Amino acid sequence: MQKVSELSVFFPFWNEEKNIKNVVEKALSVVKKVADRWEIQMIDDGSSDGTYEIGRRLEKTYPHVKLISHTPNRGYGAALKEGLSKAKYDLVVFNDGDGQFDFSEVGKLLAKINDNDIVIGYREKRKDSLIRHILMLYLKIHDYLLFGFHYKDIDCGFKLFRKSAIKKIIPLRSEGAMITTEILAKAKKYKLKIAQVGVHHYPRLFGNQSGANLRVLIRALRESFLLWQELHKKV
């Protein structure tokens, strides 16, 4: 595909010491081929393992690669907000830092951005546990009833934005897992054009997922109702 002029890339990481180096170095090999000017940001959300230290070494080794760290851990949404707000180029893509996506498929998203404000990936075959499949079905129903939208894969961690779209939807409130719902609900409110693109999803090889833990789920429910109140607030 033809190169885009500029691209900001960021990855949220939380306790991904066994994934961060591989994820960033694979992205480096790809981003040079798809953009003339680019940056990669590693958002370390208060990791308690060696993620931060490995990120610091990567930052020192590679130009245009930057580490941003939260202390203490704040949540997935906080990491995404950080990446979206700190990106300097007109196209911004994020990809989860757990190694379950192939960043080389960014070309599929870039091919759709000319006619859209946001391009969101959907996992063609989701390689997750049964409980996460059930939670995804619940999220689809929950978001349709509460916010009136339906997408194939709401929380897929592979999304591309125009900077102009980010400016429309910020500020973002959610610090936890409801961040993707908030992004899509605000995109709907401002009538932004969204395309969906199928991407591959791979089993997690290292580390642990946090999306199905009770504390994360309770926080997500609370944030969703606060978002509903914000969107329906009378001016």
Q: What is the mean pLDDT of residues 139-149?
A: 79
Judge contact between 176 and 149, C-beta under 8 A: no
The answer to whether the bond into 72 is cis (omega within 30° of 0) is yes
For residue 40, what is the DSSP state?
E
Return the bridge partners of 6, or none. 37
Bridge-based pairing of strands 4-13 and 118-123 is: unpaired
Number of H helices, E strands in the chain: 8, 7
Judge contact between 189 and 231, C-beta under 8 A: yes
CA distance 156 to 123: 7
Lowest mean pLDDT among 42-51, 86-95, 133-142: 133-142
What's the pLDDT at 231?
Answer: 82
> 36, exposed or middle or buried, with CB in 10 Å at 0-12, 13-18, 19+?
exposed
- 213 pLDDT more than 70: no
What's the pLDDT at 169?
Answer: 96
Two tokens, residue 167? 């400016």
Q: Which residues span the domain enclosing 32? A: 4-231
Judge contact between 110 and 35, C-beta under 8 A: no
What's the pLDDT at 24?
Answer: 98
Judge contact between 177 and 168, C-beta under 8 A: no
Q: Report the phi/psi class of residue 4: left, alpha or beta, with left for phi > 0 and alpha for psi in -120 to 50.
A: beta
* Residue 30: strand, helix, or coil: helix
pLDDT single digits (tens) 162-189? 999 999 999 999 998 889 999 999 999 9
CATH of the domain at 30: 3.90.550.10
* Residue 10: strand, helix, or coil: strand
Two tokens, residue 165? 């779209």
Q: What is the mean pLDDT of residues 110-126?
A: 95
Domain count across the chain: 1
What's the pLDDT at 128?
Answer: 67
Pick the closest to residue 88 from 9, 191, 2, 193 (CA basis): 9
pLDDT single digits (tens) 87-104? 999 999 999 999 999 999
Lowest mean pLDDT among 76-90, 125-139, 147-161: 125-139
Rounded mean pLDDT of the chain? 90
For the entire predicted model, the pTM comes to 0.89
What's the pLDDT at 235?
Answer: 44
